[in-house]
Structure 1
Amino acid sequence: MLDPIVAFFQRIFAAIGRGIGLVIAWILWPFITATNWYKARSWIIKGPIGIGLLLLVGFYAYFIWQTQVWSGFNPDYVNSYNLAQRKQDAGGATSGGAATTSAAGDAAEPEPKTCVRSAIVDVTADLIDFNVNQNAWISSMLLYKVGLFGVEWDKTPWMDNKAAFQRGVNQTIRRTAVELVDALGRVRGTSGINADLQRARGNMQFDEETWYFGSDSLLPKTPTPNYYRTAMADLRKFNASLEACDAIFDGRSDNLIEFLDRIANDIGSTSAIIRERSEFHNGGWFDTRADDRFWFAFGQLYGYYGILSAAGADFDAVIKARGIEPLWIETMKQLRSALKIQPAIISNGREDGWIMPTHLATMGFYILRVRSNLVEMRDVLAR
């Protein structure tokens, strides 16, 4: 009596097997045809084609390696700066400037005057170094621009996480560079714009996807990473000038208020993007753009964790005088907690779902917590 049932399921599985075989044969057919054609050619034709294929395989191996290995990635990178050991705010004089008397009673040359470097500038320059020197800048790599059979990598589930993360970090660098030029690196209304910071801001605004050549011009171009490296050098030059007391860092409370306000607006925009994706495109593991949104936001929080920690050192006197130190410390803890979320596969499930996780909503929650604290600190400082 069971024989008809068994035969039915055998036919079903046999049909499924044939279907899978046809799909695999369809996928492999171009490769098999090309291989047979290649075998029938002479070495005069085989040689150049073989070398070209080896180069292509090498390029893709390098590309895959660069997109999957994150050199220097460390959520606790802030600890290496020992910011808690700093005794003075950025720009404050540390020593020198006064003449001394020698043992013979003669007046000696005054010691060179030194000032405190800006931790914000140091962290910003190091984030650029992390993005374009310790790692390849993915967004302007040729194979990233080519995509997967013409489809942008950002629209696939593969090879784009690191690029999105780097762009998130880069967003924090750009925002900080603007604030350094407009407010932090000058006495507002009484001093000119610092030339080093101005060049750094201009270079950081360069587009993120330029390679050596492009479709809009036959002439060679300067690729994106070179502009960012130049910006990094200018930031380090500014800090060297600041250390020699030849530059200005204006650590007033109104500058800190404006800085916090700009950062709050920046991550608020990211929160809106995440909300839109989470609410209207919640396809769980099948949402191929969810990983872009998640890792961009992650990169943004990664960058601001370092920059805001540095701001806590550069504006230490203001923070303590206005009584927001506990709130500042709590904000840094929340930023660090957000960096613990590192899922292998990003899922954009429904918030009331029970099968697929909702990583985007979780990241959005952390962003809103951080933003809420930034707004509260800004309001306290503004009173």
Structure 2
Amino acid sequence: MLDPIVAFVQRVFSAIGRGIGLVVAWILWPFVTVANWYRGRSWIIKGPIGIGLLVLVIGYGYFIWNTQVWSGFDPEYVNAYNLAARKNDAGQPVKAAAGQTAPANTCQTSAIVDVTADLIDLNVNKNAWISSMLLYKLGFFGADWDNTPWLDNKASFQRGINQAVRRTTVELVDSLGRVRGTSGINNNLQAARGNMQFDEETWYFGWSPFGPKTPTPSFYRAAMRDLRAFNVSLAKCEATFDSRSDNFIEFLDRIANDIGNTSAIIRERSEFHNGGWFDMRADDRFWFAYGQLYGYYGVLSAAGADFDSVITQRGISQLWSETLKQLSAALRIQPVIISNGREDGWIMPTHLATMGFYILRVRSNLVEIRDVLAR
């Protein structure tokens, strides 16, 4: 009675096996053909081809390594600055502790500038800048890596940090690094802003205009040096950091607008592209937003030290601490695979909506702090 059933199952599995074998043979056929052709050539042909393949393998190995290893990544990196121990607002003369003599002609450096410079260092020195690497620019068989599920998360994360750094350097030039109306723009900050505006994708050679170029990381490293030079001048009381409440209000307003724009991008992707684990652009949106919050977590923590008197005098210490806690909580979301499922779905999670929720919470707090300071 069971013999026909057993025979049928055997035929089914045999057919499946033959099908799999045909698919594997079809996939391997070009490689086998090329290998057979290669074996039949002389060393005059084999040598250059072999060297080319070796360079390609080493190049892709180096590229994959750099995209997968995130050196210096630490969601709680702010703790290393010990910002709570700072007793002076940025730009103010350093005060001595009880029983000690205050150092002459010494002003408090800016924690915002320190953190911003260190974020650049993380992006281009501790890690390779992925967006301008040649193999990243070439893509996956011509397709942009951002349109694939592979090797693009770190690039998006770095660009998110870069967005926060760019916004901060602009605000340092326009308001924080000078007394508006009575002082000129600081040359170091101006240079840093200019270097950070350079595009994110330039390699050593380009087509428009044609010829050799200075790659993107070199401009960002120059910006980092400019920021550190500003803090050296500030420590000597030769530069200005204006820690007034109106500057703080404007700074928070610009940051709130910046992450608000990212929230709109997250919302659009979440609402109209519910591909679950199969949405190839969801990871780009997620890791860009994550990198932006990663950068602003440090910048805003540093702002709390640079504007400590404003925060204390206006009674917003608790609200400020809550904002930083929400930023820290957002950085604890680190899914292995990003899913853009429906918000009412029950199989595929919706990581984009979750990240959007945290962004809106942070933005709401920043707006509230701004409104309190403006009263």
- 1:243 equivalent to 2:225? Answer no
Amino acid at match of 2:349: P
Residue deviations 1:296-328 (CA, integer Å, cap 9, x gap): 000001000000000000000000111111000
Cα distance in 1 for partners of 2:15, 2:370 equals 66
Alignment partner, residue 45 of structure 1: 45
Which residues of 2 match residues 302-381 of structure 1 at below 5 A?
302-381=294-373
Amino acid at match of 2:353: A
Pairwise CA distance, 1:363: 0.6
Amino acid at match of 2:258: D
Residue deviations 1:215-269 (CA, integer Å, cap 9, x gap): 2233100000000000000000001000110000000101111111111111111
Which residues of 2 match residues 219-230 of structure 1 at below 5 A?
219-230=211-222
Pairwise CA distance, 1:8: 3.9
Cα distance in 2 for partners of 1:368, 1:6 equals 60
Tell me: CA distance 1:8–1:216, structure 2 relative to 1, closer, same or farther (3 Å). farther
Pairwise CA distance, 1:282: 1.1
Pairwise CA distance, 1:2: 4.1
8 Å contact from structure 2 (residues 94, 103) kept in 1:
no
Tell me: CA distance 1:126–1:34, structure 2 relative to 1, closer, same or farther (3 Å). same
8 Å contact from structure 1 (residues 200, 230) kept in 2:
yes
Amino acid at match of 2:31: F
Pairwise CA distance, 1:28: 1.6
Count of aligned residue pairs for this structure pair: 370
Pairwise CA distance, 1:3: 4.1
Any gaps of 5 or more consecutive residues in structure 1? Answer: 97-109
Alignment partner, residue 19 of structure 2: 19
- 1:128 equivalent to 2:120? Answer yes
Which residue, 193, 206, 216 being the options, matches 2:208?
216
**SS where residue 333 of structure 2 aligns?**
coil
Tell me: CA distance 1:357–1:146, structure 2 relative to 1, closer, same or farther (3 Å). same
- 1:184 equivalent to 2:176? Answer yes
Tell me: CA distance 1:18–1:215, structure 2 relative to 1, closer, same or farther (3 Å). farther
Moved over 6 A (4+): none
Pairwise CA distance, 1:29: 1.6
**SS where residue 214 of structure 1 aligns?**
strand
8 Å contact from structure 2 (residues 169, 192) kept in 1:
yes
Any gaps of 5 or more consecutive residues in structure 2? Answer: 97-101
8 Å contact from structure 1 (residues 120, 311) kept in 2:
yes
Cα distance in 2 for partners of 1:346, 1:186 equals 42
* TM-score normalised by length of structure 1: 0.94
Tell me: CA distance 1:308–1:111, structure 2 relative to 1, closer, same or farther (3 Å). closer
Cα distance in 1 for partners of 2:181, 2:26 equals 70
Alignment partner, residue 99 of structure 2: none
Which residues of 2 match residues 33-182 of structure 1 at below 5 A?
33-94=33-94, 112-182=104-174
Pairwise CA distance, 1:20: 2.6
Cα distance in 1 for partners of 2:259, 2:178 equals 25
Stretch moving more, 175-184 or 4-13: 4-13
Cα distance in 1 for partners of 2:199, 2:236 equals 33
RMSD across aligned positions (CA): 1.5
Tell me: CA distance 1:245–1:62, structure 2 relative to 1, closer, same or farther (3 Å). same
Cα distance in 2 for partners of 1:68, 1:230 equals 26
Alignment partner, residue 275 of structure 1: 267
Residue deviations 1:186-232 (CA, integer Å, cap 9, x gap): 10111111111011001101000000111223310000000000000
Amino acid at match of 1:202: G
8 Å contact from structure 2 (residues 252, 366) kept in 1:
yes
**SS where residue 219 of structure 1 aligns?**
strand
* TM-score normalised by length of structure 2: 0.96
Which residue, 195, 199, 219 being the options, matches 2:191?
199
Pairwise CA distance, 1:357: 1.1
**SS where residue 207 of structure 2 aligns?**
coil
Pairwise CA distance, 1:276: 0.8
**SS where residue 94 of structure 2 aligns?**
strand
Residue deviations 1:87-139 (CA, integer Å, cap 9, x gap): 0100001169xxxxxxxxxxxxx974110000000000000000000000000
Cα distance in 1 for partners of 2:307, 2:104 equals 25
Tell me: CA distance 1:140–1:309, structure 2 relative to 1, closer, same or farther (3 Å). same
Pairwise CA distance, 1:12: 3.6
Amino acid at match of 1:65: W
Pairwise CA distance, 1:24: 2.1
